[in-house]
Amino acid sequence: MGQMGRPSIEVAERDSVEDLKKAYLSCKSAVESRRIQAIWLLRQGKHRAEVREITGFHNGPLVEIIKRYNAGGLAELVDRRLGRSGRKPLLSDEEMLHLAQCIRKDYAQGMYWNGPKVVRWISEVLGKQVHEQRAYEYLKAIGMSLQRPRPRHAKADPEAQQRFKKNAS
């Protein structure tokens, strides 16, 4: 019996210790490498506490790795996230190009776009909803940056500022 009355799960003898070592040393993925290393160390006779310390796995994930290995061998320890690029972008390349052309056309005429204007344009022209932060990311992606005039103090004296600039140099 393991901790708190649970039966201990032993590692199946599917692969030799030497084969596990070869698989561990030839692995390209860090995730797979750690999983295989855990099984390899356990098959060498190391205690789970020592394996947890070496690999950094907590008990739950380590038990899950053992179960997966016992069920399907090394093939079950593969990192299935590899090759997945995640979610598709909200705007296609053509839509981004169209947005960039509209922004640059207005920029050439002295009109500036900001996040809310990009959100409105995407909503009205493309029929898609985006958050304002995403709009600023789109502006940055097409080479635009947030431009705001420097704040001026309400009681500033432009003549005194000029005198100060002249005397400072």
CA distances from 159 to 33, 83, 119, 153, 168 (A): 69, 63, 41, 14, 14
Q: For residue 145, give the nearest of 112, 116, 122 by alpha carbon.
A: 112
Question: Can you give the pLDDT of all 169 residues of the chain as single tens digits?
Answer: 555 556 678 999 999 999 999 999 998 888 999 999 999 999 999 999 999 999 999 999 999 999 999 999 999 998 887 777 677 889 999 999 999 999 999 988 988 899 999 999 999 999 999 999 999 999 988 888 776 777 888 888 989 988 888 887 6
